[in-house]
Amino acid sequence: MNEFRPIPPLPHRVMPVFLALSLVLSLVLICAMASRADAAEPQPGNYAKRADVAAFAADAAKKTGVPLAEIQQWLDDAKYQSSIVEAMNRPAESKTWAQYRPIFITPKRIADGVVFWNKYAADLNAISQKYHVNPAIIVAIVGVETFYGQRMGNYRVIDALATLGFDYPKRGAFFRGQLMDFFTLAAKEHIDMNDALGSYAGAMGMPQFIPSSYLALAVDGDGDGKRDLWHSDADVFASVANYFAEHGWVKGGPVGFEVEVKNTAQVADYLNAARDLKPKVTVGQLRQWGIALPKDLYLPDSEKVMLFTLTGPDGVAYWVGLNNFYVITRYNHSTLYAMAVWQLSQAITAARAAVASTEAQARPAE
């Protein structure tokens, strides 16, 4: 009969050695797992050596018709920019209206808008008549986007789109699509990748068109056979006007108005917020809810409108956005942006009229 004998405990001198070995083995295992994870997830940048970038390049060459060698060369040269990702994570549109408005509705931006409009009045009037888009809106778009061409961005577009397409997972698919369109655009318009500068989001030129908008909606306004949104004022004005016309702008039409909402719970499910901007409430519903509408506007009950809030210095205000307001949101999907463009256009129009009146009064009588 075998006698059961318990395993004697390890000598006290052996215990520290045993624990040290266990710790070493654990660290080795953790490092191995980390290395495996690193291998599975590419590090930011280093686009010349990444399998996901190579696969994209092959797909882009097939879909765009641009030679693979050219696409690969552009991507190999692209540089990851951490500041772009940081900027994407703190957009101006995350602010309240009280914070956002003072960025764009300033005395200098209004005064410079008057000067800009007067300088290009002949071109703006001709384009306005052709596309049926108010000159004030064209001027305000350029004023909000790039301060009338003074701030068109300092990032290489290829760097911005590569950074966001391959190293910004939240919207990577969208920016890879824009990158593919940029290859097509560069080949079509003979754009030098090294010279093409834009915003941190890859928007280009005075009106800040993203590549898909540039391809689809930019116009050769000066007839030189090229659509140049960096250097041709005529191309810029015609392109902005065409953008608005294609999205249904009605020249001289109303844009929006503030309303008083007494029963806020009643309208809560119908509010437009964030990127949910499609009109979903009718004028008839507003009337049924007892919301007073401007008496000088013809608004049929069946017309769908936007209903949204803006938080200003005095609290929350309710606004109704009509067709033209919705069209402005097609340029940038934000009620804050659309309101800034509209109010800047109104301020520039009023200031320009005041300047014209002052100049007329100062002229000697004939």
DSSP 125-180: HHHHHHHT--HHHHHHHHHHHHTTTT---SEEHHHHHHHHHHH-GGGHHHHHHHHH
Contacts of 326 by beta carbon, 8 Å cutoff, 6+ apart = 277, 278, 279, 306
Per-residue pLDDT of the chain (366 residues; tens, 9 = 90+): 444 455 455 555 544 544 444 543 454 444 444 444 444 556 899 999 999 999 999 999 999 999 999 999 999 999 999 999 999 999 888 899 999 999 999 999 999 999 999 999 999 999 999 999 999 999 999 999 999 999 999 999 999 999 999 999 999 999 999 999 999 999 999 999 989 999 999 999 999 999 999 999 999 999 999 999 999 999 999 999 999 999 999 999 999 999 999 999 999 999 999 999 999 999 999 999 999 999 999 999 999 999 999 999 999 999 999 999 999 999 999 999 999 999 999 999 999 999 999 988 888 776
Distance CA 76, CA 49 (A): 8
Which CATH number do you get for residue 228?
1.10.8.350
* Closest to 80 (Cα-Cα) out of 166, 152, 154, 153: 166
Which CATH number do you get for residue 288?
1.10.530.10
Are 306 and 164 members of one domain? no
Are 226 and 316 members of one domain? no
In-domain check, residue 14:
no
Quote the pLDDT of residue 11.
52
Which of 187, 217, 247 is the endpoint of a domain?
Answer: 247
Greatest Cα pair distance, the chain, in angstroms, is 136
Are 235 and 260 members of one domain? no
Distance CA 176, CA 174 (A): 6
* Containing structural domain, residue 353: 97-128+251-357
In-domain check, residue 63:
yes
In-domain check, residue 199:
yes
In-domain check, residue 28:
no
Tokens encoding 352: 């320009």
In-domain check, residue 256:
yes
Domain count, the chain: 2
Are 165 and 51 members of one domain? yes
Are 165 and 86 members of one domain? yes
172-189 and 51-64 helices, crossing angle to 10°? 50
Which positions are catalytic? 145
Distance CA 152, CA 149 (A): 6
Quote the pLDDT of residue 29.
47
Are 198 and 266 members of one domain? no
Are 211 and 337 members of one domain? no
* Closest to 185 (Cα-Cα) out of 148, 228, 145, 156: 228
Are 52 and 75 members of one domain? yes
157-167 and 68-77 helices, crossing angle to 10°? 90
Are 238 and 257 members of one domain? no
Are 58 and 167 members of one domain? yes
In-domain check, residue 282:
yes
Q: pTM for the complete prediction?
A: 0.87
